[in-house]
């Protein structure tokens, strides 16, 4: 990642960090917080490159080509340390080792930087050990704590860090990243709607179960106006394919985006349909239903998702949902 890309994907985080760099007001500790896939680790390495680059100018942009930049990118810089969970947690010995390492002088400069990935996974002992480290900051030492769940960190640790929020990527930006990763244009909008994590999107794209799930959802939508076929499709296809709560939830999301596409067509916002391959059919359906009806159908799906997470029986839940959706647009 470079600064141009960082500013495009995470403008708020990029502005906060660039201001710190340009004005030489680097905090002794940062908390990079946000959902998985929002570029927190890449951002922390970009910050490291900006601090250690041999060719950086007044704008503090790293060159990406000098020895320090290349070693940071490959994980081999002696004064940049990355700590990640050992198994399911970050253990006290890992933090002790880090503190011992940082008690020494820098190998090549006075500056040192350490990055703790999944900081919320520190054990209680490790967190307390880190807290002591943060309470006695060295002027040339910078910490970056990366987390998806800041609420699981000690409040005393959070209070000693400057928060840098990372927000979900805009769907159109994430869709472009998927295209760059080699996915077909027709699939990117749906995957970008379902996840903000590149690895998760790649997994779904290559998952035969997911491809079949999409077909089952579209088939259910197609036969909704025929009560007999709808219930048959529900029993034989949906309930046979969607087994776990998370799978049912994904199926409901796939169904919801059909109605969102129809609504966007009615509103003239159809440039980024989640189901672009169904445009012709969805445009016809958009002419055959009212916004009020669409609103009720989307509300019914959202209510079904809520009941699912409240542990309602999935089969009963889906039967009720089908009854609520019937009478809406269909593939005819």
pLDDT digits 0-9 by tens, 257-303: 999 999 999 999 888 789 998 999 999 999 999 999 999 999 999 99
pLDDT of residue 233: 93
Burial class (CB in 10 A: 0-12, 13-18, 19+), 309: exposed
- Beta strands in the chain, from DSSP E residues, in sequence order: 29-34, 80-83, 112-116, 141-147, 162-166
pTM of the model: 0.71
What does the pLDDT average to over 304-314?
94
Q: Does residue 309 contact residue 245 with C-beta atoms inside 8 Å?
A: yes
pLDDT value of position 231: 92
How far, CA to CA in Å, does 169 sit from each of 145, 166, 172, 226, 258?
A: 20, 9, 8, 39, 21
Supply the DSSP symbol for 259.
Answer: H
- In the chain, residues under CATH classification 1.20.272 are 207-325
Predicted confidence at residue 56, as pLDDT, reads 79
Listed residue (184, 216, 186, 181) closest to 200, CA to CA: 181
What is the location of CATH 3.40.50.300 in the chain? 3-166
pLDDT > 70? residue 331: no
**How far is Cα 141 from Cα 133, in angstroms, rounded to an integer?**
11
Are 53 and 80 contacting, i.e. CB atoms less than 8 angstroms apart?
A: no
pLDDT at residue 330 greater than cutoff 50: no
Whether domain 207-325 has CATH 2.30.29: the reply is: no
Considering the segment(s) 3-166 as one domain, its CATH architecture is: 3-Layer(aba) Sandwich (3.40)
Taking only the tens place, the pLDDT of each residue in 35-56 is 988 999 999 999 999 999 998 7
- Asked whether residue 325 carries a pLDDT value surpassing 60, the answer given is yes
Which parts of 198-314 are beta strand (E)?
none
User: How high is the mean pLDDT of the chain?
Assistant: 90
- pLDDT digit string (tens) for 60-106? 789 989 999 999 999 999 999 999 999 999 999 999 998 888 777 65
Q: What are phi and psi of 190, to 5 degrees?
A: -65, -45
Query: 149 with 120: CB under 8 angstroms?
Result: yes
Closest CA to 191 of 285, 259, 124, 177: 177
Nearest to 175 by CA among 165, 183, 166: 183
- In this predicted structure, the answer to whether residue 181 has a pLDDT above a threshold of 90 is no
Residue 59 has pLDDT above 90, yes or no: no
**What pLDDT, on a 0 to 100 scale, did the predictor assign at position 108?**
64
Grouping H, G, I as helix, E, B as strand and the rest as coil, residue 122 is: strand
Report how far apart, in Å, the C-alpha atoms of 257 and of each of 39, 123, 191, 218, 279 are: 26, 40, 11, 11, 13
CA distances from 185 to 174, 204, 208, 215 (A): 12, 15, 18, 18
**DSSP label at 166?**
E
Dig out the tokens for 308 from the structure.
């699912």
């Amino acid at each position: 990642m470079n600064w141009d890309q960082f500013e495009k994907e995470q403008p708020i985080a990029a502005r906060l960090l660039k201001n710190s760099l340009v004005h030489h007001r680097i905090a002794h500790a940062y908390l990079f917080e946000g959902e998985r896939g929002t570029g927190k680790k890449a951002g922390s390495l970009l910050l490291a490159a900006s601090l250690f680059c041999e060719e950086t100018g007044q704008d503090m942009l790293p060159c990406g080509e000098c020895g320090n930049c290349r070693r940071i990118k490959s994980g081999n810089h002696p004064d940049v340390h990355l700590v990640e969970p050992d198994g399911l947690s970050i253990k006290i010995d890992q933090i002790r080792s880090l503190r011992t390492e940082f008690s020494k002088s820098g190998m090549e400069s006075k500056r040192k930087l350490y990055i703790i990935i999944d900081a919320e996974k520190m054990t209680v002992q490790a967190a307390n050990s880190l807290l002591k480290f943060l309470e006695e900051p060295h002027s040339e030492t910078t910490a970056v704590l990366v987390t998806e769940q800041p609420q699981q960190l000690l409040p005393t640790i959070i209070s000693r860090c400057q928060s840098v929020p990372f927000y979900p990527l805009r769907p159109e930006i994430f869709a472009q990243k998927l295209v760059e990763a080699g996915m077909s244009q027709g699939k990117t909008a749906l995957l970008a709607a379902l996840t903000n994590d590149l690895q998760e999107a790649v997994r779904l794209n290559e998952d035969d179960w997911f491809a079949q799930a999409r077909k089952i959802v579209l088939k259910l939508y197609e036969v909704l106006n025929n009560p007999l076929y709808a219930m048959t499709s529900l029993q034989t296809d949906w309930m046979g394919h969607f087994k776990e709560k998370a799978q049912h939830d994904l199926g409901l999301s796939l169904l919801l985006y059909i109605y969102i596409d129809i609504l966007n067509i009615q509103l003239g916002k159809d440039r980024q349909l989640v189901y672009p391959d169904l445009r012709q059919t969805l445009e016809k359906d958009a002419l055959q239903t009212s916004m009020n009806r669409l609103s009720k159908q989307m509300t019914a799906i959202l209510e079904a998702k809520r009941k699912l997470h409240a542990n309602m029986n999935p089969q009963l839940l889906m039967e009720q949902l089908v009854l609520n959706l019937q009478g809406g647009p269909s593939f005819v």
